[in-house]
């Protein structure tokens, strides 16, 4: 079989996969999910899930990609046969649906970046900040415009095949983002009353753990690690045989996880110090940060750097999502890369409109009690990703273990105890966990 193009350097793959994992999920979603689900009642289960089935699933997906040498559907067919093709499609659909609301938040990011460039990034009055956020997200023209620009940037990057360039830029900007976050954390923690936030995040309160906080933590685990829709499969299909997959998986999970914890520490302590409600919802990060920027020297310049880095982090994640249907259209429908990126852009620009409008004029349209934005988020994270993860488990853990797991030993032979542990986690722990958490929400 012809080798597909292989990542340029040894760290290239880990970097790209980390670029996918670290994005708005950590900085925008994690703080508000933690805030809305009782802080530690969300974070402690999240930590447990990343360490148990999160890393395992990253490894399983990369294995499928490298063994199957194709996008999610192609790999499923090659490894497991035609009958599995529709199951691979769940991943493709899921990636598409995530993009329809991820781009909305990407649009918010762009708006805040422009505001920062114009010198309007800092403010101290929280109620005004809340008002500004509401205005930003509820105006249909600006929400749709910025979202479409964000989509267009993504499509252009893939159309002109400059994703390698973006990865190179992100090699510099992602560490910078980490440094900026650390500075903001220190500033936030020195605000009076901020330590309450640390307690809220980490002091165990197991009595607050509920079926729904567990389900949300599980959905977020998939979302934050970019597993459960074939991204790691697609990326894995480009990995050369010199890459050690278990250590790559651990790297990806640890960097994604660290960025979440840092973001939590960056946002939640100031939230409590300013007397805001941690369960304020999707606007939490965007409302809080300008007030923190106001409290540091050169706050506005700082904000420009911060939103710039955040935008690049969001773009690398969005690019990875875009790659899933794109690779599918190229491999399965035999479309050219250019044609496929244009079609996908148009489809997304249209299908993303409901998410953009759901914070404004379409806010009252509810599906199962949620607006479009929240419904898409719930459907993808809490239903489709776990479902698609179960298919990955079925292939690598149950039916084709021998046909795929040899990939783990490509660079270094693992002990049989390691292989047994991996199989136990993958074939037993992960599915039981997923099914029990999912079902517990029905009772
Ligand atoms: N993990 C990305 C983030 O945290 C989002 C994402 C989800 C990307 C699923 C790809 C797949 O922002």
The best mutation among 28, 320, 384 to test binding of ligand 1, ranked by most ligand atoms within 8 Å of the C-beta, falls on: 320
Q: Whose CA is nearest to atom 6 of ligand 1?
A: 226
Enter the tokens of residue 242: 């010199």
Q: Which of 18, 19, 23, 257 to mutate to test the pocket of ligand 1 (most atoms within 8 A of CB)?
A: 23
Q: Is the CB of 25 under 6 A from ligand 1?
A: yes
- With a 6 A CB cut-off, is 98 part of the ligand 1 pocket? yes
Q: Which of 75, 52, 384 is nearest to 228 (CA)?
A: 384
Architecture of domain 10-442: Up-down Bundle (1.20)
Percent of the chain with pLDDT over 70: 97
Atom of ligand 1 nearest to the CA of 385: 9
Residue positions counted in the chain: 443
Q: Please state the three-class secondary structure of the chain as a single string.
A: CCCCCCCCCHHHHHHHHHHHHCCHHHHHHHHHHHHHCCCHHHHHHHHHHHHHHHHHHHHHHHHHHHHHCCCHHHHHHHHHCHHHHHHHHHHHHHHHHHHHHHHHHHHHHHHHHHHHHCCCCCCCCHHHHHHHHHHHHHCHHHHHHHHHHHHHHHHHHHHCCCHHHHHHHHHHHHHHHHHHHHHHHHHHHCCCCCHHHHHHHHCCCHHHCCHHHHHHHHHHHHHHHCCCCCHHHHHHCCCCCCCCHHHHHHHHHHHHHHHHHHHHHHHHHHHHHCCCCCCCCCCHHHHHHHHHHCCCCCHHHHHHHHHHHHHHHHHHHHHHHHHHHHHHHHHHCCCCHHHHHHHHHHHHHHHCHHHHHCCCCCCCCCECCECHHHHHHHHHHHHHHHHHHHHHHHHHHHHCHHHHHHHHHCCCCCCHHHHHHHHHHHHHHHHHHHHHHHHHCCC
Distance 225 CA to ligand 1 centre (A): 7
Q: Which atom of ligand 1 lies closest to the CA of 28? A: 12
Q: What angle do CA 194, 199, 204 make, to 5 degrees?
A: 165
Mutational pocket test of ligand 1: of 61, 96, 102, the residue with most ligand atoms within 8 Å of the beta carbon: 102
The model's pLDDT over 101-132, given as tens digits with 9 standing for 90+, comes to 999 999 999 999 999 999 888 888 888 999 99
- What pLDDT shows up at residue 16? 86
From 22, 25, 98, 103, mutation site for ligand 1 pocket: most ligand atoms within 8 A of C-beta: 25
From 31, 100, 177, 224, give the residue whose CB has the most ligand 1 atoms within 8 Å, as the site to mutate: 224
What is the Å distance from ligand 1's center to 274 Cα? 29
Lookup: tokens for 425: 């986690």
Atom 9 in ligand 1: residue holding the nearest Cα? 226
Ligand 1 centroid vs 224 CA: distance in angstroms? 5
385: Cβ below 6 Å to ligand 1?
no
| 223 CB near ligand 1 (under 6 Å) | yes
52: closest CA among 430, 436, 349? 430
Write the residue with the smallest CA distance to atom 11 of ligand 1: 226
Give per-residue pLDDT as tens, 377-412.
999 999 999 999 999 999 998 998 888 887 888 788
379 Cα–ligand 1 center, Å: 15
Q: Are 351 and 100 in contact (CB under 8 A)?
A: yes
Does residue 228's CB lie within 6 angstroms of at least one atom of ligand 1?
no
- Cα 172 to averaged position of ligand 1 atoms, centre (Å): 20
Instruction: Please tell me the distance between residue 219's alpha carbon and the centre of ligand 1 in angstroms.
Output: 11
Question: 166, exposed or middle or buried, with CB in 10 Å at 0-12, 13-18, 19+?
Answer: buried
> How far does the centroid of ligand 1 lie from the alpha carbon of residue 231, in Å?
9
Does the CB atom of residue 388 touch ligand 1 within 6 A? no
Ligand 1 centroid – CA 164 distance (Å): 18
Instruction: Return the bridge partners of 367, or none.
Output: 370
The structure tokens listed for 203 are 């002091």
Q: 20 CB less than 6 Å from ligand 1?
A: yes
Tell me how far the alpha carbon of residue 201 lies from the centroid of ligand 1, in angstroms.
22
Which residue's CA is the nearest one to ligand 1's atom 2?
21
Q: Assess contact for 230 and 20: CB atoms under 8 A.
A: no
Q: How many CA atoms lie within 13 A of 181 on its CB side?
A: 24
Measured in Å, residue 340 CA sits from the centre of ligand 1 at 21
Buried/exposed code over 235-267 (b: 16+ C-beta within 10 A; e: otherwise) = bbbbbbeebebbebbebbbebbbebbbbbbbbb
Q: Cβ neighbours of residue 35 under 8 Å, at least 6 residues apart?
A: 267, 268, 271, 277, 278, 279, 280, 284
Q: Which two tokens stand for residue 142?
A: 């600006």
One pLDDT digit (tens) per residue for the chain, 443 residues: 445 656 665 567 888 889 999 999 999 999 999 999 989 999 999 999 999 889 999 999 999 998 888 888 888 899 988 888 888 889 899 999 999 999 999 999 999 999 999 988 888 888 899 999 999 899 999 999 999 999 999 999 988 887 777 777 888 888 999 999 999 999 999 999 999 999 999 998 888 888 888 889 999 999 999 998 889 998 888 888 888 899 999 999 999 999 999 999 999 999 999 888 898 888 999 999 999 999 888 889 989 999 999 999 999 999 999 988 998 898 889 999 999 999 999 999 999 999 999 988 898 888 888 999 999 999 999 999 999 999 999 999 899 888 888 788 878 888 889 899 999 999 999 999 899 888 887 76
Q: Where are the domains of the chain?
A: 10-442
């Amino acid at each position: 079989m012809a080798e597909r193009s292989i990542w340029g350097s040894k760290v290239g793959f880990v970097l790209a996969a980390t670029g996918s994992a670290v994005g708005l999920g950590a900085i925008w979603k994690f703080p508000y999910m933690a805030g809305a689900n009782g802080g530690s009642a969300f974070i402690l289960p999240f930590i447990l899930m990343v360490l148990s089935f999160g890393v395992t699933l990253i490894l399983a997906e990369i294995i499928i990609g490298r063994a199957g040498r194709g996008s999610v559907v192609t790999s499923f067919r090659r490894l497991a046969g035609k009958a599995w093709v529709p199951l691979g499609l769940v991943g493709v659909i899921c990636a598409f649906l995530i993009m329809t609301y991820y781009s909305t938040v990407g649009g918010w990011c762009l708006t805040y970046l422009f505001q920062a460039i114009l010198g309007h990034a800092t403010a101290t009055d929280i109620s005004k900040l809340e008002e500004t956020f509401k205005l930003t997200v509820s105006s249909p023209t600006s929400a749709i415009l910025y979202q479409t620009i964000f989509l267009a940037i993504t499509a252009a990057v893939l159309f002109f095949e400059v994703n390698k360039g973006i990865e190179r830029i992100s090699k510099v900007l992602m560490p910078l983002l980490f440094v900026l976050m650390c500075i903001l954390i220190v500033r936030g923690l020195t605000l009076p009353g901020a330590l309450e936030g640390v307690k809220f995040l980490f002091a165990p309160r197991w009595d607050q753990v509920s079926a729904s906080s567990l389900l949300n933590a599980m959905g977020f685990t998939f979302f934050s690690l970019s597993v459960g829709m074939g991204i790691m499969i697609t990326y894995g299909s480009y990995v050369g045989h010199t890459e050690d997959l278990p250590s790559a998986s651990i790297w990806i999970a640890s960097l994604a996880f660290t960025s979440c914890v840092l973001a939590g520490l960056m946002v939640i302590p100031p939230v409590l110090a300013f007397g805001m409600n941690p369960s304020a919802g999707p606007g939490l990060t965007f409302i809080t940060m300008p007030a923190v920027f106001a409290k540091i020297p050169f706050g506005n310049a700082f904000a420009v750097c911060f939103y710039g880095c955040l935008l690049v982090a969001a773009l690398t994640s969005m690019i990875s999502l875009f790659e899933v249907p794109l690779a599918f259209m190229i491999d399965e429908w035999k479309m050219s890369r250019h044609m496929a990126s244009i079609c996908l852009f148009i489809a997304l620009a249209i299908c993303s409109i409901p998410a953009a409008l759901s914070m404004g004029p379409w806010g009252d349209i509810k599906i199962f009690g949620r607006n479009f934005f929240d419904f898409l988020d719930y459907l993808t994270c809490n239903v489709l990703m776990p479902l698609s993860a179960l298919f990955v488990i079925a292939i690598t853990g149950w039916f084709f273990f021998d046909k795929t797991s040899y990939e783990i030993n490509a660079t270094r032979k693992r002990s049989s105890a390691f292989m047994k542990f991996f199989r136990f986690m993958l074939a037993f722990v992960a599915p039981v966990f997923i099914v029990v958490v999912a079902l517990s929400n029905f009772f």
